[in-house]
């Protein structure tokens, strides 16, 4: 190229470079949002029935909430709503609203995906609160499909993301109080209350720890008064109205240091698919590499920072570290089960991991480095969700026979279901999708549990299935047709071999359909 041409081109290139530098942060943010949202959506697009153990029950509860407000007689006859004593509401409300504009199962999947967006969203907010790049939220995308998600503990996961966001907002509120941040924190605490009540006090403890670390000046605590007051008020209301079944006995607390080597297993899952485990490890390695490089760069440039900036960075690290320590303490001392609440301590492993991502040092300011980081995290996240989507697709394909059989069940049916020969724990609540789409009654429902906002009515006019004992759904062999089957008209059984002998004692029950491992029976003459 001639010198003249080069001279002509130079200003254009420089102008292009300047424009790119100006637009780059926005483009990066949009790219990261698009990637995160896309990655979370992919597995839910790949399957009608995602492979999550409790999701069918959440679908049923979401639909029941909608039908309740629609005034459907079969639902009103069974349930009553307790949003304050059992505030496990946010995903159900979101799903119920979405049901206005889309089919039931689609609404449940969309609501679930939106709730799960709190995981990367919470990490991004935490990073923003620590005055670091929110782009690191991308690193949390694979966590969305960890062990907790496979069990369908959606609200628990979302609440963890919300807790991270609460700490981030608190940091910023203490540093630069504004009305918007104050209101945002208050709203977030309310949302957290209605998402997962057991995470709520930990969020308050996190606010307290953050405040104590960031400032000893009581005048700077004032912006927190309103949001904390709202939160405490809600907590008091809950403590007053909670049912006896939610007043779990204080558990026996013991230090379990032998759990420490198992932290990663509790995050990823002990029965995790080998290929998925490899991809998660690769992702962890990538995050480690990015964090190490970022640390090296910030360490070398630390003298360029002002004293205030260095002090804020140090204290915010300690504040987040305090929350991680709280989670670690809970991980080491809490039991596996507290009342009807299972998988208690392992959840803290995921909480620690989410918060630890907030401690990743600030990404370098250079645009090209941020683009490299975003590209690498995007590819790595995609590899993980691709594998998850494959698993969901395989599970979904297996349920084709369930779809065929369930289509024969009429709306508002009294359905008893038994799941023998589970190929996967996710089979256990699949029949609850029938109630989600068609209403009616189920032999086993989360309404049995203390934390469900929709309870079975206990007044004399209620029409309610017989209450089943704890772990009923995992023990179908407990079923005796004459004792347990009288209430029901329809019987849906998952079994590899013919289960007719389970119902033989009641001659009014006859087979209707059989597809694959799903068998449908009806009681004649009702």
Which residues of this protein are in contact with another protein, per CB under 8 A?
281, 284-285, 288-301
CB of 350 to another protein, least distance (A): 19
Question: Smallest distance from the beta carbon of 375 to another protein, in angstroms?
Answer: 16
How far apart are CB 361 and another protein at their closest, in Å? Answer: 9
The minimum distance between CB 349 and another protein, in angstroms, equals 16
In the complex, the smallest distance separating the C-beta of residue 279 from another protein, rounded to whole angstroms, is 10
Cα atoms in the 13 Å half-sphere on the side-chain side of 145: 29
Strands 414-419 vs 441-442: parallel, antiparallel or unpaired: parallel
Q: Are strands 414-419 and 490-494 parallel, antiparallel or unpaired?
A: parallel
Comparing CB distances to another protein, the nearer of 297 and 463 is: 297
C-beta of 291 vs 447, nearer to another protein? 291
Distance of closest approach, residue 133 Cβ to another protein, in angstroms:
15
165 or 294: whose CB is closer to another protein? 294
**Burial (CB count within 10 angstroms: exposed 0-12, middle 13-18, buried 19+), residue 176:** exposed
Other beta carbons less than 10 A from residue 103's beta carbon:
12
All residues at 6 or more sequence positions from 321 whose CB lies less than 8 Å from its CB, including other chains: 359
**62-92 burial code (b ≥16 CB/10 A, e <16):** bbbbbbbeeebebbbebbeebebbbbbbbbb
Nearer Cβ to another protein (293/359)? 293
Least Å distance, CB 144 to another protein, is 22
Structure tokens at 320: 């987040």
C-alpha span between 10 and 136 (Å, rounded): 35
Q: Which is nearer to another protein, 13 or 289 (CB)?
A: 289
Q: Looking at beta carbons only, is 278 or 506 nearer to another protein?
A: 278
| Residue among 455, 337, 87 nearest 236 (CA) | 87
Q: What are phi and psi of 475, to 5 degrees?
A: -130, 70
Q: d(Cα 129, Cα 132) in Å, to the nearest integer?
A: 7
Nearer to another protein, 10 or 301 (CB): 301
């Amino acid at each position: 190229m001639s010198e003249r041409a080069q001279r002509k081109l130079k200003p254009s290139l420089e102008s292009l470079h300047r424009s790119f530098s100006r637009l780059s942060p926005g483009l990066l943010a949009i790219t990261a949002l698009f990637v995160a949202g896309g990655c979370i959506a992919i597995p839910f697009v790949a399957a009608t029935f995602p492979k999550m153990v409790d999701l069918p029950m959440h679908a049923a509860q979401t639909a029941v909430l909608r039908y309740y407000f629609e005034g459907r007689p079969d639902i009103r006859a069974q349930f009553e709503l307790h949003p304050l004593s059992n505030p496990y509401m946010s995903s159900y409300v979101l799903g119920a609203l979405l049901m206005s504009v889309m089919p039931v199962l689609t609404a449940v999947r969309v609501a679930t995906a939106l709730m799960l967006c709190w995981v990367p969203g919470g990490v991004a907010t935490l990073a923003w609160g620590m005055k670091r790049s929110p782009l690191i939220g991308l690193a949390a995308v694979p966590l969305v499909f960890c062990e907790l998600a496979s069990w369908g503990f959606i609200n628990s996961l979302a609440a963890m993301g919300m807790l991270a966001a609460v700490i981030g907002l608190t940091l910023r509120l203490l540093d630069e109080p504004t009305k918007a941040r104050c209101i945002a924190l208050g709203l977030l605490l309310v949302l957290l209350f209605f998402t997962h009540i057991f995470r709520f006090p930990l969020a308050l403890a996190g606010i307290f720890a953050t405040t104590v670390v960031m400032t000893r000046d009581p005048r700077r605590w004032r912006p927190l008064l309103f949001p904390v007051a709202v939160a405490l008020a809600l907590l008091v209301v809950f403590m007053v109205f909670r049912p006896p079944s939610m007043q779990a006995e204080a558990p026996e607390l013991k230090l379990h240091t032998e759990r420490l080597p198992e932290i990663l297993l509790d995050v990823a899952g002990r029965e995790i698919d080998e290929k998925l485990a490899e991809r998660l490890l690769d992702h962890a390695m990538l995050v480690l590499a990015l964090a190490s490089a970022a640390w090296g760069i910030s360490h070398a440039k630390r003298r360029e920072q002002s004293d205030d900036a260095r002090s804020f960075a140090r204290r915010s690290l300690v504040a987040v570290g305090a929350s991680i320590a709280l989670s670690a303490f809970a991980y080491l001392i809490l039991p596996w089960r507290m009342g009807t609440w299972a998988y208690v301590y392992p959840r803290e492993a995921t909480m620690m991991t989410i918060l630890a991502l907030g401690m990743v040092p600030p990404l370098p300011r250079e645009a090209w480095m941020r683009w490299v980081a975003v590209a690498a995290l995007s590819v790595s996240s995609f590899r993980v969700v691709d594998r998850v989507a494959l698993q969901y697709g395989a599970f979904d394909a297996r349920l084709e026979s369930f779809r065929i059989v369930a289509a024969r069940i009429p709306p508002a049916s009294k359905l008893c279901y038994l799941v023998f020969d589970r190929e996967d724990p996710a089979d256990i609540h699949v029949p609850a999708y029938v109630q989600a789409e068609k209403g009616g009654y189920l032999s086993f429902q989360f309404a049995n549990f203390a934390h469900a906002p929709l309870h079975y009515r206990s007044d004399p006019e209620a029409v309610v299935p017989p209450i089943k004992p704890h772990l009923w759904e995992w023990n179908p062999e407990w079923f005796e047709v004459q004792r347990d089957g009288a209430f029901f008209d329809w019987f849906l059984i998952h079994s590899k071999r013919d289960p007719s002998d389970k119902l033989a004692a009641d001659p009014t029950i006859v087979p209707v359909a059989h597809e694959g491992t799903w068998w449908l029976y009806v009681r004649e003459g009702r």
